[in-house]
Amino acid sequence: MNNGLLVVLSGPSGSGKDTVLKGVLEKMDGDAFLSVSMTTRAMRRGEREGVDYFFVSKEQFQKNIENDLMLEYAKYGSNYYGTPIGPVKDVLKSGKTVFLNIEVQGGANIRRLMPEAVQIFIAPPSRDELERRLRKRGTESEECICERLRIAEEEMRRADEYDFVVVNDVLEDAVEEVLSIVKHAVKQ
Ligand code: 5GP
């Protein structure tokens, strides 16, 4: 799409990828942006419209797909999630870095569409730790936690499709690892 770098970050719910990304964005200070996705899932407590997600109905989501407004999208659990194309294009045109925090089907779609994108998978140190983090977060019902753990197992099996796998055991180390991958890719 131009000169900026596109970075895909995937990893199971509970891997801590949102926190890693937050640390990376703070350190990149204005040189990198996070794409705000669109979703049909309900807003969680503390989330903000247009900051965490654009929250839309299934009908609106469908319309955006039909109007070619989405770079990629996927169904995760019973909801749809997708990347609006416009802002990604704008950041890439400006020569800056844009991060997509997306699940593995979306990651595979981007790999086909934009093979030049850097793909990073954030893995938890273990399955037990993943479950502990998901429960500690307290944002999901028991049913939803079980579904997320089931999806996590599928996602972990696809980690080797990514260019890099970063294990998020110590947060600061994971942030530094992602930063070094991105800095290296920007230089190339
Ligand atoms: P959550 O409901 O926990 O916010 O997100 C669930 C999953 O959807 C996470 O793995 C997250 O990375 C992924 N996701 C968020 N936005 C997008 C998107 O725009 N496209 C795709 N394919 N996945 C997304």
Strands 118-123 and 164-167: what pairing?
Answer: parallel
Nearest CA to ligand 1 atom 9: 103
Residue 138, pLDDT score: 80
At residue 101, what is the residue type?
Answer: N
Q: Which atom of ligand 1 is nearest to the CA of 74?
A: 22
Provide the pLDDT for residue 2: 62
The predicted structure's pLDDT at residue 1? 61
Residue ranges lining ligand 1, Cβ < 6 Å: 13, 37, 41, 72-74, 76, 81-83, 101-103, 105-106
Å from CA of 13 to ligand 1 middle: 9
Q: What's the pLDDT at 126?
A: 93
* Rounded distance between C-alpha atoms, residue 23 and residue 20, angstroms: 5
The pLDDT profile of the chain, 188 residues, written as one tens digit per residue, is 668 999 999 999 889 999 999 999 999 988 999 999 999 999 999 999 999 999 999 999 999 999 999 999 999 989 999 999 999 999 999 999 999 999 999 999 999 999 999 999 999 999 999 999 988 888 888 888 899 999 999 999 999 999 999 999 999 999 999 999 999 998 66
What atom in ligand 1 is closest to the CA of residue 35?
Answer: 19
Q: Which ligand 1 atom sits closest to the C-alpha of 9?
A: 12
